[in-house]
């Protein structure tokens, strides 16, 4: 099963590489990754889904939490959370099947964003499994082209975020 990790980190150059580097250094391939700044523009929220072996799942999150730029990394795999993804899809279909395609789009609560004689461009959001089905269905009507965003996840629990307080600069450590 894929592990879903959500990371709150400083919006600084290299911060993304540090977080993902924890996975790359251990040879794990990232399945999806989304990142954007938060309400506080100095911070970013990142969602990663990755296939990490069970034994090491705790370890990678701990290693991420150790990073100076990371305020909080949390494993959402088994936690109460919602995960949503967006798909942009173009489907080429015959004149005869246009109605059927529109009907299917409606069933998946997706939105047609462009229409041409060739077919439609559709935007859909939902949980990743649902979107897999949506893509399968659309494929049955003709050639498709798909762009997926990767999941964004939000915890449904409030987790206390403790920011570290400022400290005094240039305090020389004393050896005993």
CA pair distance 48, 81, nearest whole angstrom: 14
Task: Classify 139 as helix, strand or coil.
Answer: helix
CB of 140 to other proteins, least distance (A): 45
33 vs 56, beta carbon nearer other proteins: 56
Residue choice 13, 27, 41, 80 for contact with other proteins (CB under 8 A)? 13
92-to-106, 120, 148, 167 alpha-carbon distances in Å: 17, 7, 18, 61
Residue 63 touching other proteins (CB under 8 A): yes
CB of 85 to other proteins, least distance (A): 27
Residue choice 36, 38, 58, 129 for contact with other proteins (CB under 8 A)? 58
DSSP secondary-structure letter at 163?
A: P
Residue choice 38, 51, 53, 62 for contact with other proteins (CB under 8 A)? 62
What lies within 8 Å, CB to CB, of 87 at 6+ separation is 123, 124, 125, 131, 134, 135, 146, 147, 148, 149
Residue 27 touching other proteins (CB under 8 A): no
Evaluate whether 137 touches 104 at the Cβ level (below 8 Å).
yes
Residue 17 touching other proteins (CB under 8 A): yes
Residue choice 9, 93, 105, 138 for contact with other proteins (CB under 8 A)? 9
Considering only the stretches 30-38, 113-121, 123-131, 163-171, report the one whose residues sit in contact with other proteins under the rule CB under 8 A: 163-171
Nearest C-alpha neighbor of 44 from the set 53, 59, 34 = 34
CA pair distance 131, 143, nearest whole angstrom: 17
Taking CB under 8 A as the criterion, which residues in 72-131 touch other proteins?
Answer: 72
The site for other proteins (CB under 8 A) is made up of 9-10, 13-14, 17-18, 21, 25, 58-59, 62-63, 65-72, 163-173, 175-176
């Amino acid at each position: 099963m894929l592990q879903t990790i959500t990371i709150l980190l400083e919006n600084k150059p290299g911060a993304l590489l540090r977080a993902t580097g924890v996975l790359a250094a251990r040879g794990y391939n990232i399945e999806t990754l989304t990142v954007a700044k938060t309400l506080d523009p100095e911070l970013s929220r990142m969602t990663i889904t990755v296939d990490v072996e069970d034994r090491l799942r705790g370890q990678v999150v701990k290693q991420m939490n150790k990073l100076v730029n990371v305020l909080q990394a949390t494993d959402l795999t088994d936690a109460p959370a919602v995960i949503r993804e967006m798909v942009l899809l173009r489907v080429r279909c015959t004149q005869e099947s246009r109605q059927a395609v529109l009907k299917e789009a409606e069933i998946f609560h997706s939105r047609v964003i462009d229409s041409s004689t060739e077919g439609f461009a559709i935007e859909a959001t939902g949980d990743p499994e649902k979107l897999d089905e949506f893509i399968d269905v659309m494929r049955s009507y003709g050639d498709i082209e798909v762009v997926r965003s990767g999941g964004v996840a939000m915890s449904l629990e409030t987790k206390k975020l403790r920011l570290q307080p400022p400290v005094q600069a240039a305090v020389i450590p004393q050896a005993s």
